[in-house]
Amino acid sequence: MSTASHPRSSPLPVGRSSTRCHDHAVPSQTRALSRPSVIALVVVLVLVVAGIVALEVRNVRGSAADGGPVAVRIVAFNDLHGNLEPPSGSSGEVDDAAGAAVEAGGAAYLAAHVARLRAEAPDTVLLSVGDNVGASPVASALFHDEPTVDVLDRLGVAASTVGNHEFDEGFPELRRLQYGGCHPVDGCVFRPEFDGASFPFLGANVTDTAGAPALPASTVVEVGGVRIGVIGVTLRELPTVVTAEAVAGLAFGDEVAAVDTASAELTAQGVTAQVVLVHQGDEGAGGGPSECSVEPGGAGSAIADGVSPDVDAVFTAHTHQQYVCARPDPAGNLRPLVQGLSFGRLLSVVDVAVDPATGDVLRDRTTARNEIVSRDIEPDAEVQAIVDEAVADAAPIADEPVGTIAADLLRSGGPSGETPLGDVIADAQLAATRDAGAQVAITNPGGIRADLPFAPDGVVTYGEVFTVQPFGNIMQVLTLTGAQLDAALEQQWQGQSSPRILQVSSTLRYSWSGAAPVGDRATGLTIGGVPVDPEAPYRVAVNNFLAAGGDGFTAFADGTDLTGGEIDLDALLAYLGADPDLAPPVQDRITVTG
C-alpha cells in the first residue's frame, strides 16, 4: 500500500467552487460555478417520432447580461461502480447507432470526453446518477473506493444522487465518503488522509425512521448567470437490494412525492430550472445509445411521467441501459428522459436554454443525446495518474494468478437466461457447501458483475475474479421443501418487466414457458435427475443476500435449518484453482418451452 504523502488533485478547469456543505440534513445546498465566457449553443427539438428524439443544433450567442437565453449543458453519467480502468470484455463495449461494438469506458477517457464537452459549451454542469462506488473492481475496492471519490472530484462533479450501492457498507461509510476521514477499521489505506467528496450526495426520499431527512434533497448550481436546481432520489425498493444491516435506521419513500416536495421548495426559492437524478430506470429493448428503445411499463418512465412539471429533465440509472426519450410531463410538455449504460461507457448530454429573466428552461430548445466514451482520444493525464497509483498499489494482490480457463466465461447467455459464468459460479458454490449437505446451489444474476475473459492467455487473476464477485457475500445452506423451491423459481417473473433468471448448479434442471401464467411458469424440476417432490426437504445453498429474501426472492427467507459457509469469492477462487483450463459448461440446465 502507498504510504507516501500525495497532494489532492485540483479539479478540471471548469470554475467550480471548492465550497462544501457539511449539514447533511438541510433540504438544499448552493454551489457556485464561475463562467469564463458566454458563448454557447442553443438547441432546438425539431422532431419526436415514436419516442425517438431527433435533434438539430444551431449556434447562437446569449447571456444573462445581454438578456438573451443562456445555453447550459448538463452532462451526466451513472453506475460507474469504481471502474477506474477500462472495463474488459462486453462490459467495456458499447454498440453504436449502426450496431458496431466500440471499446468504451475508463476513468481517464471519461475525464477527457468531459473536458471536450466543456470546451464546446463553457457553461457545463457535470452530475452523477448514483452507484459511483460499490461492486467495484479491486483497484478501487481494496481502498474502500477512495480512489474513485478522488477521481470524481478531479472530474468536477457538482452533485450525485445516491444509488443502492452507496449503502453497501452502511450509512456511516457513506457519510465517511462524503465528509472524509480514515476507515474506522482499516485506516487510510490509499493515501495518508482522505478528505471526502467535495460534491453533495443527494437523497430526497431518504429519511431516518422518524421521518427526518438523512441526506440533502437538492442542490443549486449557479452557471452562466442562471441557477439550475438539482434534485436526487434513489429507488424506494432499495432495502430489497441491499442487506438489512446496511440500511438499518433508514427509510426510503416514494420517489415522485419526494421530488415534488423538493421541486416546490426550489420553485419557492425562485429556482425554476430543475433537473432530477433518479437512481431507478427502465429496461432496454435494444437500439443505439440515443434511441428511445425501452420496455413498456418501466419504473423510470413512471417516475419521469409523474414528477412536477417544473422539472425540465430526468436522468435515470440502476438498470444499466442506454436510451434517450422525450416524455410528456403532467402538463403535457415534453422533457428528456435519459440513461447512459454503466461503467463510464456513455455520457448523457442535455443542452438547455435558460431565459435569464424568468430562470425557466425554454423546453422547445432542449436537446438530448448519449455520447460514447471512446478510447480513441488522449486520456486525461491527472485522472490517469490517480488510476495508475491505485492500480500499482493493488497490483501485488490483483495480479496474483488463481486459475486458468479454456475460453471466455460470459455472464450473458441464451433465451433461457442461463449463462456460462452463472453455471460456473453456482457449481463453485455447490462444491463449497457439499459438506453442509447442499444438494443444489442457486445464485442471483445481479451478484455477477463482469465477464471472466480468456484473453490474453487464459490465466485468471485474483483481480479479475474479484471484479466478477466483489460483494463478499457469505454462503448459507438452508432447507426448502420442493414447493418452496418452486415458489422461489416462480419469483423470477413476479413484478418484473423482464425475467430475472437465477443461476443454478448442474444438479438442478427445469423448464419454463413465457406463455404460461406468472406463478406457474417453471415446470419439470429435477435434482440429481430425480423429480422434485413438493413435500420433500432439500438442502439449498444461496448467499446471505438471497437467504434474506433479497432482490424480491422472498421464498428463500422461508428456509429453515440455516448453516453458514465461506465467502462466495473464496468459493469461486477455490473452484478455479482446483479445475485448471476450465471450459464453459454446456447450457442445458434451464430450457425454454414456449
Q: DSSP readout, 428-466? A: HHHHHHGGGT-SEEEE-GGG--S-B--TTTSEEEHHHHH
Q: DSSP readout, 11-45? A: PPSS-B-------TTSSEEEEEB--S---EEEEEE
Partners of residue 370 on adjacent β-strands: 348
| DSSP secondary structure code for residue 411 in this structure | S
Q: What is the dihedral of CA 381, 385, 388, 389, to 10 degrees?
A: 180
Q: Where are the domains of the chain?
A: 28-386, 400-592
Cα 40 from Cα 396, distance rounded (Å): 48
Residue located via cell numbers 430550472: 273
Chain-centre distance for alpha carbon 397: 26
Phi and psi for 373 in degrees, rounded to 5?
-85, 75
Burial (CB count <10 Å: 0-12, 13-18, 19+), residue 437 = middle
Task: Put the strands of the sheet holding 311-316 in their side by side order.
Answer: 28-32, 218-223, 226-234, 273-279, 311-316, 334-340, 322-328
Question: For residue 67, what pLDDT is reported?
Answer: 72
- The single-letter code of the amino acid at 149 is V
Nearest CA among 157, 339, 361 for reference residue 266: 361
Cα 539 from Cα 437, distance rounded (Å): 6
The total number of residues shown for the chain amounts to 594
Cα 142 from Cα 153, distance rounded (Å): 19
Question: For residue 59, what pLDDT is reported?
Answer: 30
Partners of residue 542 on adjacent β-strands: 476
Cα 39 from Cα 561, distance rounded (Å): 68
Q: DSSP readout, 209-270? A: TTS-BSS-SEEEEEETTEEEEEEEEE-TTGGGTS-GGGGTTEEE--HHHHHHHHHHHHHHTT
Among 3.60.21.10, 3.30.70.270, 1.50.10.100, 3.40.50.300, name the CATH number for the domain at 28-386: 3.60.21.10
Question: For residue 476, what pLDDT is reported?
Answer: 97
- Give domain 400-592's CATH superfamily: 5'-Nucleotidase, C-terminal domain (3.90.780.10)
Each residue's pLDDT tens digit in the chain (594 positions)? 333 333 323 233 222 333 233 333 333 343 343 333 333 333 323 233 233 333 222 233 345 566 799 999 999 999 999 999 999 888 999 999 999 999 999 999 999 999 999 999 999 999 999 999 999 999 999 999 999 999 999 999 999 999 999 999 999 999 999 999 999 999 999 999 999 999 999 999 999 989 999 999 999 999 999 999 999 999 999 999 999 999 999 999 999 999 999 999 999 999 999 999 999 999 998 899 999 999 999 999 999 999 999 999 999 999 999 999 999 999 999 999 999 999 999 999 999 999 999 999 999 999 999 999 999 999 999 999 999 999 999 999 999 999 999 999 999 989 999 999 999 999 999 999 999 999 999 999 999 999 999 999 999 999 999 999 999 999 999 999 999 999 999 999 987 767 999 999 999 999 999 999 999 999 999 999 999 999 999 999 999 999 999 999 999 999 999 999 899 999 999 999 999 999 999 999 999 998
Question: For residue 515, what pLDDT is reported?
Answer: 93
Question: For residue 90, what pLDDT is reported?
Answer: 87
Q: Please, what's the largest Cα pairwise distance for the chain?
A: 79
3-state class (DSSP) for residue 503? strand
Express each pLDDT in 106-164 by its tens digit. 999 999 999 999 999 999 999 999 999 999 999 999 999 999 999 999 999 999 999 99
Long-range contacts of 184-192 (CB under 8 A, 24+ apart): 186/144, 188/146, 189/1, 189/142, 189/143, 189/144, 189/146, 190/1, 190/2, 190/143, 190/144, 190/146, 190/147, 190/150, 190/390, 190/393, 191/2, 191/5, 191/6, 191/146, 192/3, 192/4, 192/5, 192/6
3-state class (DSSP) for residue 283? coil
Beta pairing class for 401-404 and 101-103:
unpaired
Cα 428 from Cα 184, distance rounded (Å): 33
Mean per-residue pLDDT of the chain? 89
Cα 241 from Cα 58, distance rounded (Å): 44
3-state class (DSSP) for residue 393? helix
Residue 129 sits at the vertex; the CA angle it makes with 218 and 305, to the nearest 5 degrees, is 75
Cα 205 from Cα 274, distance rounded (Å): 17
